[in-house]
Amino acid sequence: MSEPRVFLPGSTIGVMGAGQLGRMLAIAARRMGYRVHTFSPDEDTPTGQLADREVAARYDDAAAVRDFARGVDVLTFEFENIPVQTVEWAAEHCVVRPSAQVLHVCQHRLREKEFLDQAGIPLPGFMAVGSAGDLAAAVAELGLPAVLKTAAFGYDGKGQRKIAPGDNLTEAWAPFVGTGAVLEQFVRFEKEISVLVARGADGATVTYPVCENVHRQHILDVTLVPANIAPETAEKARARAVEIAEKLDLVGLLAVEMFLLADGGILINELAPRPHNSGHYSFDASVTSQFEQQLRAVCGLPLGNTDSLRPAAMVNLLGDEWAGGEPNWAAVLALPDVKLHLYGKAEPRAGRKMGHLVAFGATTAEAGQRALAARAALTKS
C-alpha cells in the first residue's frame, strides 16, 4: 500500500464552493503559505475575495471543472451539495479529499440515513416518501408528530415541514410533489449537540470538544463550547463521531449533529463533511481552528491540537440585523472579550448568514451571555 500524498505549503488548494466556510479556509491556507483557487457559479464571492484565482462557472460545465482541477494540487469542499459527476471530473486531474463517495452519501438525506442505519448507528426512525400514499403509510408506521424533509439539497431548515396530529396529509405533501422526501420521527431531545472530527489520509483522528447548539427558525443561533453535559456523555459523543468518520473512510473534516435524550442516549441527526457553523468558535478559541484542521487533513499533514483556549460562545449574525440600517459595529468592537467576523456579502437579506460573533468568558454560560449582549448592542442606537 502506497503512502498517502502530502501537499506542503506552497501547494495550491482548490475549493469547490465559495461561501463563508471557504473564506475562512482560505484565511487559514494563506496564513500557512498555500495558494487558493475557488470554483462556484458566482463572482466576487466570500471565498473569491481572498483567493488567488476565482473561477465562476456552472458545476455541470465539464470543461471548466477539468481546467480548474488541472490548476490545483488537491481539491476540497466548503459545502457538500456538489454534483458527484463534477467531483469525478475533477478527480481525473487532481487529488480530491474527501472522496466523491463521501459527498454522495452526505448530500442526500435518505442515503445518509440508510448508511448510518446499516452501520448500526442509532438515529431517529425514518421512512422514504415519494407520494401522498407513501406519506400516509409512513405516518401510520412512525406516528405523529414527525418531520417531512426533502431527500436532497436541504440546509438551514429549507425543505422541511413538521406534521402534527390532525394535519391534512395531502396538503402537507403538496410542496414536495416531484421530489424525493424522508419522514423522520420527531425527537423530544434535551439538547442539540455536535462534534467535529478530523481524519487524516493516514487514518489518524482528532475530535473537538462537544458543542451545545441552540437553533432559531431552523437556523443555528448560538453555540456554547464546551457543552454543559456530563463528561461520560461527551466522551460517548466524540467516540460516535470517530466511528462514523472511520466507516465513511473520510479524509477531511466531518461535523456530526446529534440529539441528546433525557436518558443520556444519543441519536444522530445529520452529517456535514466540511467545516460547520457550530465550529466557527474555533477560529478564535482553539489551538487549531476547524479550517486549519481541514487544510491539514486534506494535505496529508499531522492533525492539530483541538484544545480550547477559553470557554467560548458563537452567535450568528443574519441579514435581519441590518433591518434598521447598518449595525453599530463600534459598540461591539469596544467590547474586550468579543471578536467580530463578517463574510464580505454585499446584500443582507432576512435569514442570510452575514457574519458571526465569538465571545469568551470564565465559564461557558458567561461567554454565552456576553455573545448575546454583544449582538443586542449592534441594533441599539
How far apart (Å, rounded) are the C-alpha atoms in residues 97 and 301?
13
Residue 339 burial by CB count (10 A; 0-12/13-18/19+): exposed, middle or buried? buried
Structure confidence at residue 271 (pLDDT): 97
Structure confidence at residue 159 (pLDDT): 80
Structure confidence at residue 208 (pLDDT): 98
Q: What is the pLDDT of residues 360-378, one digit of tens each?
A: 999 999 999 999 999 999 9
How far apart (Å, rounded) are the C-alpha atoms in residues 198 and 312?
20
Question: Residue 173, CB half-sphere, CA atoms under 13 Å: how many?
Answer: 20
Closest CA to 13 of 208, 301, 245, 287: 301
Structure confidence at residue 153 (pLDDT): 66
To the question of domain 125-185 being in CATH 3.30.1490.20, the answer is yes
- Do strands 266-272 and 95-96 pair parallel, antiparallel, or not at all (unpaired)? unpaired
Q: According to CATH, where is 3.30.1490.20 located in the chain?
A: 125-185
Of all residues in the chain, the percent with pLDDT exceeding 90 is: 93
Q: According to CATH, where is 3.30.470.20 located in the chain?
A: 191-377
Closest CA to 153 of 100, 183, 110: 110
How far apart (Å, rounded) are the C-alpha atoms in residues 340 and 355?
8
Q: Check: CB of residue 359 under 8 Å from CB of residue 312.
A: yes
Regarding the domain delimited by 12-96, which CATH topology (the fold level of the hierarchy) does it fall under? Rossmann fold (3.40.50)
What grid cell was written down for 123? Answer: 438515529
Structure confidence at residue 158 (pLDDT): 66
Q: What is the pLDDT of residues 98-133, one digit of tens each?
A: 999 999 999 999 999 999 999 999 999 999 999 999
Determine the CATH number of domain 191-377. 3.30.470.20
Can you list the residues of the chain whose pLDDT is less than 50?
A: none
